[in-house]
Amino acid sequence: MSIPNGPLSVKTALTLHSDYVTLCCVIRERSVVCHVGIERPIDTKEVAEMLGVTPRTVTRLAEKGEIPGFKVGDVWRFHRRDIVQYIEEQKQGRRPKPSDE
């Protein structure tokens, strides 16, 4: 991408995706690129499918603070990356510990 000479300018593009809103900024001459991704929150049904449990179990886990989430009104919402991280942490916790030799 080339940006013409002249006063400092900012070019902003907003791209909407099903899971993300991405805001990209290119600032000429300062070599600054901003990339901000805002993930679309997922609901208890989607989390339940990822974990192989019921939506009610997801709600219980969130209420106990065992999985990261946030409430919008009375409805729980989650970020997919947090649930993926939770799954990975659970896998790590279930691995057998190496024996002391």
Tens digits of per-residue pLDDT, 5-14?
A: 444 344 444 4
| Tokens (6 digits) for 7 | 């006063």
Average pLDDT value for the chain: 74
Question: In this predicted model, which residue has the larger pLDDT, 2 or 96?
Answer: 96
Domain ranges of the chain: 10-39, 44-94
| Tokens (6 digits) for 65 | 């603070």
At 40, is the pLDDT very low, low, confident or very high (cuts 50, 70, 90)? confident
> CA–CA distance from 84 to each of 12, 36, 91 (Å)?
30, 20, 11
State residue 22's pLDDT score: 46
